[in-house]
Structure 1
């Protein structure tokens, strides 16, 4: 099996802090952050025990492509991508919500709907929908941004009432979310895909709102193949999709959904390799580009040298 990186523990000159997310290791400087996309994989808000070779590279490079493609819609945090697994950019203060937007009844929303709920995050849904049906219009179903554990559904009204985001800022986040989803939908259609749902995160830098984190990757988004979609819906067949939903379904089949008391099942190496292959397939299908595997012989050293080199070039000493 190829080398994979589960975590990093660098100590860079003038580093002010470190944050370990579910997938990313974030090195914090005064006005800059260096983000390492590791090969960790999470599902149901739980980090699984084994890393997935090339997953970090896939996510980092897909995100870089879409952030560049949407920079005319909303400014984003990125200043450079000096390594296949590294992105460097502005140190923004994140909003404590994730802006989830859904064009179809799938995943978590479909499970909630099947359980009888007709309102998700304060957004009413009509009766008579089937799983994977297109919604009358895209809906925003925000979640809280948890530092640890599970993100929770939250309504716009709760966000405003609790003062998590001001009305003025939230209206900007809503507009950016719809505009980004429209652009993502158009780019997906060019590749024969349907952007089903996705999430965006935003933050502030010097008082201005920026798009942060990743966008339109298989970790943050769900895609269906456009070909066969209508036929599958007519007869009630599952949709062929590009996302990590197949990992969630495998975990469910093993009796795990991230609930208290459940044990994370051990993933056999053959399944780890299958996940890696699927992520590479996702990259090529979503971007229309051939995936070039980076050299993983000295993965940590390669990443560290890339960050140090960019520090010297960009001069983010503090």
Structure 2
């Protein structure tokens, strides 16, 4: 298989720390973060054994495009994108909540609804809805940001009562979340897609609230194809999704759901290549642009040199 980035171990002048997430390697500086989007892939909170060529580039470039396209509504953390797999930006103090917004009764909300619940994160859900129906208006269902394990649902009332976010800041986060989601839905519609739900993360740089992390990528968002949506809803059929759901479905079909005692099925070259092809297809469908593969014969060296050049020219 082609070269892919499983992990990086760079050392840069002025670096004060390093954090390895499920997918990203984060190099920490006094005022900046250098974020390398690796080709690792996770599902069911487990990082799968083999990296997927071009996946990091796909996610980094989708996020870069959407951050740029929304910078008129919300200032964001990005200062430079020196390489297709790298984003550099302001080192913010993250808010300890993720702002999840849902336009449709899908995923976690649909599972809660099916279990008989009509309230999620303190927000009522109307009676008589079918899975994948649109809510009368999008609902914000925040989660706590867990440093380990699963994020947990939390209500706006609890966030304010526990002082996780001040009321003044939370009102800004809500306003930004709704405006971003509206823009994301408009952009998706132009591509023949429906932005179903997504999450946003915010942080503070000094006194300024900035949008951080990735947005509107298939790892952080759920998309349906607009074509056939109404007909599928009428007939009670599943919606055609544009997300990494296909990876989860492959794992489930091969007996893995992240539960204790289960082993990740073997990822053959063929499987890895097919997942890579799907991510490239996702990029082209979401952005409407042709995906241009970056040079990957010496991928780590390419990335390291780009970061070093940026740091040297600051």
Q: TM-score, normalised by structure 1?
A: 0.96
How is 1:43-62 mapped onto 2 (pairs within 5 angstroms)? Answer: 43-62=43-62
What's the CA shift string for 1:164-199, capped at 9, x where partnerless? 111111111000000000000000111111000000
What's the CA shift string for 1:135-188, capped at 9, x where partnerless? 111011111111122111111112112211111111110000000000000001
Deviation of 1:300 after TM superposition, in Å, equals 0.5
| Pairs aligned (count) | 314
In structure 2, the partner of 1:70 is 70
In structure 2, the partner of 1:33 is 33
In structure 2, the partner of 1:231 is 231
Q: Are 2:15 and 1:15 equivalent residues in the alignment? A: yes
| Root mean square deviation, CA, Å | 1.2
User: Given that residues 229 and 239 in structure 1 are in contact (C-alpha distance below 8 angstroms), is that contact kept between their aligned partners in structure 2?
Assistant: yes
Q: Are 2:119 and 1:115 equivalent residues in the alignment? A: no
In structure 2, the partner of 1:142 is 142
In structure 2, the partner of 1:193 is 193
Deviation of 1:266 after TM superposition, in Å, equals 3.2
In structure 2, the partner of 1:269 is 269
In structure 2, the partner of 1:173 is 173
- Which ranges of structure 1 fall in alignment gaps of 5 or more residues? none
What's the CA shift string for 1:249-285, capped at 9, x where partnerless? 2223334333445443333332222211111001001
Query: For 1:2 and 1:157, how far apart are their aligned partners in 2?
Result: 49
User: Given that residues 23 and 38 in structure 1 are in contact (C-alpha distance below 8 angstroms), is that contact kept between their aligned partners in structure 2?
Assistant: yes
Deviation of 1:248 after TM superposition, in Å, equals 1.8
- Tell me, what secondary structure is at the counterpart of 2:313? helix
- Tell me, what secondary structure is at the counterpart of 1:157? helix
Query: For 2:143 and 2:263, how far apart are their aligned partners in 1?
Result: 25
Query: For 2:224 and 2:2, how far apart are their aligned partners in 1?
Result: 29
- Structure 2 CA distance for partners of 1:96 and 1:260, relative to 1, 3 Å: farther
- Tell me, what secondary structure is at the counterpart of 1:19? strand
In structure 2, the partner of 1:304 is 304
- Which ranges of structure 2 fall in alignment gaps of 5 or more residues? none
Deviates most, 128-137 or 180-189: 128-137
- Structure 2 CA distance for partners of 1:267 and 1:115, relative to 1, 3 Å: farther
User: Given that residues 46 and 149 in structure 1 are in contact (C-alpha distance below 8 angstroms), is that contact kept between their aligned partners in structure 2?
Assistant: no
In structure 1, the partner of 2:100 is 100
Query: For 2:266 and 2:125, how far apart are their aligned partners in 1?
Result: 38
In structure 1, the partner of 2:278 is 278
What's the CA shift string for 1:227-265, capped at 9, x where partnerless? 110011111111111101111222233343334454433
User: Given that residues 284 and 290 in structure 1 are in contact (C-alpha distance below 8 angstroms), is that contact kept between their aligned partners in structure 2?
Assistant: yes
- Structure 2 CA distance for partners of 1:115 and 1:267, relative to 1, 3 Å: farther
What's the CA shift string for 1:24-68, capped at 9, x where partnerless? 111010101100000111122222221111000000000110000
- Tell me, what secondary structure is at the counterpart of 2:152? coil
Query: For 1:90 and 1:63, how far apart are their aligned partners in 2?
Result: 16
Query: For 1:83 and 1:13, how far apart are their aligned partners in 2?
Result: 19
Deviation of 1:215 after TM superposition, in Å, equals 0.4
